[in-house]
Each structure stands twice: as structure tokens, then as C-alpha cells.
Amino acid sequence: MVIRRGFSRFRCSRPRWPLRDGSRQPAQAGAEGRAPARIARQTEGGALTRIARQTPTRIARQTRISLLRISKRALTMRAAIYWAPEVDDPLWHAGCTWLGRDPESGAALTTPAPPELVAEPARYGFHATLKPPMRLATSLDALREDAAALAARSAPFALPPLAVTELAGFLALCETTPCPALGALCDACVGALDRHRAPPPEAELARRRHGGLSAREEANLARWGYPHVFDTWRFHMTISRRLAPGEMALWRPRAEAWFAAALAPAPRVATIAIFTEEAPNAPFSLAARLPLRG
């Protein structure tokens, strides 16, 4: 580059950029030698990608959006403490296949029952309830930490034999004899983890009262957010919607035949599980298995 000034000619070298040590270095050709700019360009696979410098205002706005999304998820998500057979237990395979869904892997399975007959229990996954689904007053991580601590001080135990039973018009697997260890574990989950439960909305309370509650169940609903806890709780693993008498007569023997081999060995309670519902009416997923170590 040549600059004419009067009768003199001055040849200018390439611009020099200061380095950290104070020295100066000629700029190199290409993207790596360009001066910092508000918007830089970076070569990736032959294409130029625009990279915008993030301003504090933009960062703050994105942070607020992220927090709003987290808050919305926390308000709508529900979590529950369930018992689910171990993955290698034949009962887990039989129950998930009957319902047509594995809540741990998310896999859809071919059910031997009509899909509409099992759609409602399939949404919750194959399980027995220990602490019913609840919106969280804390966080999922905090619930997991306390549930893991509870599991760590609880000892594994064997269940009594289970059988396919009619329960209030539903098909369910139920105990053939009471299991004190199971009742104690359920009571511990309801009481020790209740600090994580947010109060249920009025619409949910009204729905639970719709079928009529005893005085004891009403007191449980008011105190624990669910009518069937402690002395009104009963172990069950629901495997159908409510059935008409003719449907019950048809499907109970079929369910008994389906579960017969899986129910031959006595199931063992070695873990408790956290199930989560990410949004209203979404399928529940098995989020964590927590081993009993007591």
C-alpha cells in the first residue's frame, strides 16, 4: 500500500496488533488474524457461522426463560414412591407385557389384553403404591435423597403369595395374607417423605371425594392428600380399568392364567422406586430404583 503526501512516498506495512507482553505482531491473513468484532465469523466445514456476542441483557432474559420453564415443570410434574418388581423378576415382565408398556425403558409391548382394557393402569406403569402421586413442594433431587436414605435403613423382605383378585370392580394382584413388613414400609414412605408433598389443588380433592369417603378417609385426605393411607391402605397392583360383571367373568380367568407362572415364586421387595409424571395425563416413568440396605 502506498500513500502519497506532497513529494514523498510512504510505504505502510500491515497493521500490527498488540500482544499480551506489549510487543506487536503483523496481522495474519485469514479469520484468525482479524481484529475482535462485535460479530465474528468462524469457518466450520467451509461454511461461515455467525456468532453473536452475548450481552448481559440477553443472558438475563435467557436465564428468566429457563427459570420459568423449570418452575412450570415443577408445578405440573408429579412424583410417587412405588414398589415395582426387579427387572429380572418374571413378574415384572408379565406385568409390563400385560399392560403393554415398560415404564422403565419406555418400550411399547404387545399386550394379550384389549388395549382399552389396560390403558388406564398402563399410564401409571406396573406397580404397587407406597406414597401416592404428589406435586412437589421441594425438588425431585431432594425427594430422591430422602427416599434413598429411607431405603438405606429399611431391610429387604419377601412378600406373601399374590393372586389375581377383583378389587372394587378392577382386576388387581393382591396379597393372600397380610405382610407387616410391607405395611411398615408403606407407612414410613407416607410419613417420612411428606415434607416433599405440595398441597393438592381443590379440583383434585373434589375428585377424590366424588365417590364418597368414610370419616377416616376424609381425615387422611385432609392431612396426607390421599384417602387410602395407613390403616385404610391396601396393597394392590392394578391391571385393568373398572370392569362390568360380564367383563370380569371373562378376563379374570385369563389374567389368572397369564400371571400363574410369574406368581409361583414369592416376590421379594429389594428396592423402592420413584415414578414421575412429567405433565398432566402423561405416562409415568420409572426414574430411579433405590435399594433397601437395612
Averaged pLDDT of the chain: 84
Higher pLDDT, 151 or 39: 151
Given this model, what pLDDT does residue 9 score?
47
Q: What are the pLDDT digits (tens) for 25-74?
A: 544 444 444 444 443 444 444 443 443 456 666 666 665 554 444 445 55
- Overall residue count recorded for the chain in this entry: 294
pLDDT of residue 4: 46
Q: What is the pLDDT of residue 76?
A: 81
Q: Output the pLDDT for position 38.
A: 44
Q: Strand 271-277 vs strand 78-83: parallel, antiparallel, or unpaired?
A: antiparallel
Is the pLDDT assigned to residue 16 strictly greater than 90? no
- The SS3 of residue 200 is coil
Q: Which pLDDT score, from 0 to 100, does residue 56 have?
A: 66
pLDDT of 39? 39
- Rounded-to-integer distance, Cα 207 and Cα 29, Å: 72
pLDDT by residue (tens digit) across 182-222? 999 999 999 999 999 999 999 989 999 987 899 999 999 99
Better pLDDT: 171 or 212: 171
Dihedral sign (CA 252, 253, 254, 256): positive
Number of neighbours of residue 246 by Cβ within 10 angstroms: 8
State residue 31's pLDDT score: 42
Look at residue 211 in the predicted model and tell me its pLDDT: 77
Judged against a pLDDT cut of 80, whether residue 2 lies above it is answered with: no
Q: Which residue has the higher pLDDT, 10 or 254?
A: 254
**Cβ atoms within 10 Å of 249's Cβ, excluding its own:** 11
CA dihedral 218, 202, 136, 217 (to 10 degrees): 10
Closest C-alpha among 117, 10, 125, 136 to residue 72: 136
Structural domains in the chain, CATH included, are 83-291 (3.90.1140.10)
What is the per-residue pLDDT for 30? 45
Percent of the chain exceeding pLDDT 70 equals 74
Burial 267-287 (b: 16+ CB within 10 A, else e): bebbbbbbbbbeeeeeebbbb
Rounded to two decimals, what is the model's pTM? 0.75
pLDDT reading at 18 higher than 70 = no
